[in-house]
A and B are shown apart, each in its own frame.
Chain A
Amino acid sequence: KNEVEQSPQNLTAQEGEFITINCSYSVGISALHWLQQHPGGGIVSLFMLSSGKKKHGRLIATINIQEKHSSLHITASHPRDSAVYICAVSQGGSEKLVFGKGMKLTVNP
């Protein structure tokens, strides 16, 4: 079993839909990260959180430390949101990232 699990693995949505991506982890962490990866490889950090909830524009990230679970919500989805969304946890003194496999999101117009 991977230390970081994401669901679903793929998701196709229509423009305007509310989208939820889930992440569960099984190890101790110092923080949980949500990242976005576009075709071609570039990775952008969306959120880093260790408790509660964070919001940036149409994106909301929540974490439940007791349940070892996090969700990323996208409101009013748009085709430009199409990307791979990766959940990762930082561990240990190095804060190295342990990644989930990612979820490929396609938003159709």
Chain B
Amino acid sequence: DTGVSQDPRHKITKRGQNVTFRCDPISEHNRLYWYRQTLGQGPEFLTYFQNEAQLEKSRLLSDRFSAERPKGSFSTLEIQRTEQGDSAMYLCASSERTSGSLGHQFFGPGTRLTVL
């Protein structure tokens, strides 16, 4: 399977705990995006990497959120001191940006986080 994968698919945690999610993009894709989707809403942009550089972060991404893409391949999203409002589906997408062309974003299956 050469699609975008995310792990875990589901995470239940207690308020105040830290959680970390992983995203493995399509191997040749240089761009990686994290989005968050709450029930009944469209996804919202969180952050974006080009290769290993984190180039843009949404104001939605509070101090408790941190994302990395250390070698320009997989990425992790960590949420510290989780709150009930963090409960959502966390989606990862990747794309290949080449000079002069826009890239389709390919989405992973998402990680559903429930904070009790």
Contacts and interface: CB of A to CB of B under 8 A. Distances in A.
A99 interface: yes
Nearest to B43: A99
B91 A41 contact: yes
B contact patch SS: strand
B55 A94 contact: yes
Contacts of B42: 4, 86, 88, 99-102
B35 A97 contact: yes
Contacts, number: 66
Nearest to B112: A41
Interface stretch (B15-23, B63-71, B72-80, B98-106): B98-106
Interface string A81-100: 00000101010111111111
B103 A45 contact: no
Interface string B29-48: 00101010100111111001
Given A40-B109, A94-B48, A96-B56, 15 more contacts: A41-B89, A44-B107, A45-B107, A86-B42, A92-B56, A94-B31, A95-B95, A95-B102, A95-B105, A96-B33, A97-B35, A98-B45, A99-B43, A100-B42, A101-B41
Interface of B: 31, 33, 35, 37, 40-45, 48, 50, 55-56, 89, 91, 93, 95, 97, 102-107, 109-110, 112
Interface of A: 4, 30-31, 33, 35, 40-45, 48, 50, 86, 88, 90, 92-102
Q: Which 7 A-B pairs have the closest CB atoms?
A: A99-B42, A43-B107, A41-B110, A96-B45, A94-B48, A94-B56, A101-B42
